[in-house]
Amino acid sequence: MSRSFGQSAGAGSVAALLAMPRAAGLFGRAVAQSVQGTFFSPELTADITTSCAAELGLRPTVAELSTVAPASLSAAGDAVGAKMARWAERWGQVAHKPIPFSPVVEGDALPVTPWQALADGVGRDIDLLVGHTRDEQRLLTAFDGLLGQVTQEQAARACAPSAPAGTAHAVTSTAFRPRARTSCTNWSTPTGCSACRPFTWPRPGPPPAAVPTSRN
Protein backbone atom coordinates (compact mmCIF):
# COMPACT_ATOMS: atom_id res chain seq x y z
CA MET A 1 0.00 0.00 0.00
CA SER A 2 1.53 3.31 -1.03
CA ARG A 3 1.75 6.22 1.41
CA SER A 4 1.94 9.97 0.96
CA PHE A 5 3.50 12.36 3.50
CA GLY A 6 3.76 16.14 3.38
CA GLN A 7 4.60 18.95 5.77
CA SER A 8 3.48 22.60 5.45
CA ALA A 9 3.17 23.28 1.71
CA GLY A 10 3.75 19.57 1.13
CA ALA A 11 0.85 18.81 3.45
CA GLY A 12 -1.28 21.16 1.38
CA SER A 13 -0.36 19.07 -1.64
CA VAL A 14 -1.39 15.89 0.17
CA ALA A 15 -4.67 17.52 1.18
CA ALA A 16 -5.30 18.64 -2.39
CA LEU A 17 -4.57 15.15 -3.72
CA LEU A 18 -7.14 13.74 -1.30
CA ALA A 19 -9.75 15.97 -2.92
CA MET A 20 -8.73 15.44 -6.55
CA PRO A 21 -10.82 12.89 -8.49
CA ARG A 22 -7.87 12.20 -10.79
CA ALA A 23 -5.76 11.13 -7.79
CA ALA A 24 -8.25 8.54 -6.54
CA GLY A 25 -6.45 5.30 -5.71
CA LEU A 26 -3.02 6.94 -5.76
CA PHE A 27 -2.30 6.08 -2.12
CA GLY A 28 -3.92 4.20 0.74
CA ARG A 29 -2.40 6.07 3.66
CA ALA A 30 -1.59 9.75 4.08
CA VAL A 31 0.04 12.06 6.61
CA ALA A 32 -0.71 15.79 6.38
CA GLN A 33 1.49 17.69 8.82
CA SER A 34 0.87 21.44 9.37
CA VAL A 35 -1.38 21.99 6.38
CA GLN A 36 -1.51 25.57 5.17
CA GLY A 37 -5.07 26.84 5.43
CA THR A 38 -5.45 28.72 2.16
CA PHE A 39 -6.94 27.46 -1.07
CA PHE A 40 -7.54 30.21 -3.62
CA SER A 41 -10.50 30.96 -5.84
CA PRO A 42 -9.87 31.45 -9.58
CA GLU A 43 -10.68 35.15 -9.23
CA LEU A 44 -8.16 35.72 -6.43
CA THR A 45 -5.57 33.69 -8.31
CA ALA A 46 -6.02 35.80 -11.44
CA ASP A 47 -5.64 39.01 -9.43
CA ILE A 48 -2.44 37.82 -7.74
CA THR A 49 -1.04 36.54 -11.03
CA THR A 50 -1.66 39.93 -12.61
CA SER A 51 0.33 41.61 -9.83
CA CYS A 52 3.22 39.14 -10.21
CA ALA A 53 3.28 39.60 -13.98
CA ALA A 54 3.29 43.37 -13.56
CA GLU A 55 6.54 43.08 -11.58
CA LEU A 56 8.05 41.67 -14.78
CA GLY A 57 6.37 44.15 -17.10
CA LEU A 58 4.28 41.38 -18.63
CA ARG A 59 0.67 40.38 -19.04
CA PRO A 60 -0.59 37.40 -16.99
CA THR A 61 -0.72 34.95 -19.89
CA VAL A 62 0.90 31.56 -20.34
CA ALA A 63 2.54 32.75 -23.54
CA GLU A 64 4.32 35.66 -21.87
CA LEU A 65 5.12 34.10 -18.49
CA SER A 66 6.54 30.95 -20.10
CA THR A 67 9.37 33.05 -21.54
CA VAL A 68 10.60 34.09 -18.08
CA ALA A 69 13.42 32.31 -16.26
CA PRO A 70 12.21 30.43 -13.13
CA ALA A 71 14.43 32.56 -10.88
CA SER A 72 12.79 35.72 -12.22
CA LEU A 73 9.32 34.30 -11.59
CA SER A 74 10.35 33.51 -8.02
CA ALA A 75 11.72 37.03 -7.56
CA ALA A 76 8.45 38.51 -8.84
CA GLY A 77 6.53 36.43 -6.31
CA ASP A 78 8.83 37.60 -3.53
CA ALA A 79 8.33 41.22 -4.60
CA VAL A 80 4.56 40.85 -4.43
CA GLY A 81 4.79 38.98 -1.12
CA ALA A 82 6.76 41.86 0.41
CA LYS A 83 3.90 44.31 -0.17
CA MET A 84 0.81 42.12 0.10
CA ALA A 85 -0.87 44.39 2.64
CA ARG A 86 -1.56 47.03 0.01
CA TRP A 87 -4.12 44.69 -1.56
CA ALA A 88 -5.88 43.83 1.72
CA GLU A 89 -9.22 45.25 0.61
CA ARG A 90 -9.28 42.97 -2.44
CA TRP A 91 -7.43 39.91 -1.18
CA GLY A 92 -8.69 39.77 2.41
CA GLN A 93 -6.77 37.74 4.99
CA VAL A 94 -4.41 36.39 2.33
CA ALA A 95 -2.91 39.88 2.01
CA HIS A 96 -1.59 39.70 5.57
CA LYS A 97 0.70 36.77 4.76
CA PRO A 98 4.00 36.97 2.83
CA ILE A 99 3.33 34.06 0.46
CA PRO A 100 1.02 34.81 -2.48
CA PHE A 101 0.65 31.21 -3.67
CA SER A 102 -1.74 28.36 -2.83
CA PRO A 103 -3.62 25.57 -4.62
CA VAL A 104 -6.56 26.79 -6.69
CA VAL A 105 -10.06 25.33 -6.30
CA GLU A 106 -11.34 25.15 -9.84
CA GLY A 107 -12.91 22.83 -12.40
CA ASP A 108 -12.47 19.08 -12.38
CA ALA A 109 -8.86 19.12 -11.12
CA LEU A 110 -9.65 20.39 -7.60
CA PRO A 111 -13.43 20.90 -7.53
CA VAL A 112 -13.75 21.67 -3.79
CA THR A 113 -11.50 22.31 -0.79
CA PRO A 114 -10.06 19.25 0.96
CA TRP A 115 -12.25 19.75 4.05
CA GLN A 116 -15.40 19.87 1.92
CA ALA A 117 -14.28 16.83 -0.06
CA LEU A 118 -13.70 14.79 3.10
CA ALA A 119 -17.03 15.88 4.54
CA ASP A 120 -18.61 14.63 1.31
CA GLY A 121 -17.01 11.22 1.77
CA VAL A 122 -14.06 11.53 -0.59
CA GLY A 123 -11.04 9.57 0.64
CA ARG A 124 -13.07 7.47 3.06
CA ASP A 125 -10.94 4.44 2.18
CA ILE A 126 -7.67 6.25 3.08
CA ASP A 127 -6.03 6.03 6.51
CA LEU A 128 -5.33 9.66 7.34
CA LEU A 129 -3.10 11.16 10.05
CA VAL A 130 -3.26 14.94 10.48
CA GLY A 131 -1.04 16.99 12.77
CA HIS A 132 0.41 20.37 13.55
CA THR A 133 3.94 21.34 14.58
CA ARG A 134 4.12 23.17 17.88
CA ASP A 135 7.24 25.20 17.08
CA GLU A 136 6.98 25.49 13.30
CA GLN A 137 6.99 29.29 13.25
CA ARG A 138 10.21 29.36 15.28
CA LEU A 139 12.36 28.66 12.22
CA LEU A 140 10.58 31.30 10.13
CA THR A 141 10.99 33.81 12.94
CA ALA A 142 14.72 33.06 12.97
CA PHE A 143 14.87 33.59 9.21
CA ASP A 144 13.37 37.04 9.73
CA GLY A 145 15.90 37.88 12.45
CA LEU A 146 13.17 38.18 15.10
CA LEU A 147 13.85 35.10 17.23
CA GLY A 148 13.19 35.96 20.88
CA GLN A 149 12.07 39.51 20.04
CA VAL A 150 8.37 39.09 19.21
CA THR A 151 5.91 40.21 21.90
CA GLN A 152 2.61 38.45 22.60
CA GLU A 153 0.70 41.36 21.11
CA GLN A 154 2.80 41.29 17.93
CA ALA A 155 2.25 37.55 17.57
CA ALA A 156 -1.47 37.96 18.13
CA ARG A 157 -1.58 40.83 15.64
CA ALA A 158 -0.10 38.54 12.99
CA CYS A 159 -2.96 36.09 13.60
CA ALA A 160 -5.70 38.73 13.79
CA PRO A 161 -4.61 41.67 11.62
CA SER A 162 -8.13 43.13 11.52
CA ALA A 163 -8.64 43.21 15.30
CA PRO A 164 -8.97 46.67 16.92
CA ALA A 165 -5.76 48.13 18.33
CA GLY A 166 -4.77 46.56 21.64
CA THR A 167 -7.24 43.66 21.38
CA ALA A 168 -5.45 41.19 19.10
CA HIS A 169 -4.07 39.08 21.96
CA ALA A 170 -7.46 38.79 23.65
CA VAL A 171 -9.18 38.00 20.35
CA THR A 172 -6.77 35.24 19.39
CA SER A 173 -6.62 33.77 22.91
CA THR A 174 -10.41 33.53 23.00
CA ALA A 175 -10.66 32.04 19.53
CA PHE A 176 -7.80 29.57 19.75
CA ARG A 177 -9.13 27.08 22.27
CA PRO A 178 -12.40 26.11 20.57
CA ARG A 179 -10.74 26.21 17.16
CA ALA A 180 -7.96 23.90 18.32
CA ARG A 181 -10.56 21.41 19.52
CA THR A 182 -12.73 21.59 16.44
CA SER A 183 -10.12 21.89 13.70
CA CYS A 184 -9.67 18.13 13.56
CA THR A 185 -13.35 17.70 12.75
CA ASN A 186 -12.59 19.29 9.38
CA TRP A 187 -10.61 16.16 8.60
CA SER A 188 -13.23 13.63 9.65
CA THR A 189 -14.21 11.10 7.02
CA PRO A 190 -17.67 9.51 7.20
CA THR A 191 -16.43 5.90 7.09
CA GLY A 192 -12.65 6.20 6.95
CA CYS A 193 -9.91 6.12 9.55
CA SER A 194 -8.53 9.51 10.61
CA ALA A 195 -6.53 10.72 13.59
CA CYS A 196 -5.02 14.00 14.79
CA ARG A 197 -1.85 14.63 16.76
CA PRO A 198 0.61 17.44 17.60
CA PHE A 199 4.34 17.21 16.85
CA THR A 200 6.09 18.59 19.94
CA TRP A 201 9.62 17.14 19.74
CA PRO A 202 11.97 19.98 20.72
CA ARG A 203 15.01 20.95 18.70
CA PRO A 204 18.11 19.43 20.35
CA GLY A 205 20.81 21.81 21.50
CA PRO A 206 20.69 25.59 21.90
CA PRO A 207 18.64 27.79 19.56
CA PRO A 208 20.50 29.03 16.48
CA ALA A 209 22.51 32.16 17.21
CA ALA A 210 22.21 33.38 13.66
CA VAL A 211 20.33 32.21 10.62
CA PRO A 212 21.02 33.42 7.06
CA THR A 213 18.32 35.81 5.96
CA SER A 214 18.11 34.38 2.43
CA ARG A 215 15.56 31.60 1.93
CA ASN A 216 16.85 30.60 -1.49
Residue 38 to residues 13, 97, 143, 153, 213, Cα–Cα distance (Å): 12, 10, 22, 24, 25
pLDDT in tens, 104-123: 999 999 999 998 998 888 88
What per-residue confidence (pLDDT) applies to 178? 42
| 3-state secondary structure (DSSP) of residue 32 | strand
What per-residue confidence (pLDDT) applies to 165? 61
Judged against a pLDDT cut of 70, whether residue 191 lies above it is answered with no
pLDDT in tens, 131-176: 887 777 777 777 777 777 878 777 766 666 666 665 544 444 444 4
Which residues pair with residue 97 across a beta bridge? Answer: none
Q: Which residues contact 76 (CB under 8 A, 6 or more apart)?
A: 52, 53, 55, 56, 68
More confident residue, 44 or 170: 44
Residue 206 CB coordination number (10 Å): 6
Q: Which residues contact 212 (CB under 8 A, 6 or more apart)?
A: 143
Q: Which residues contact 119 (CB under 8 A, 6 or more apart)?
A: 186, 188, 190
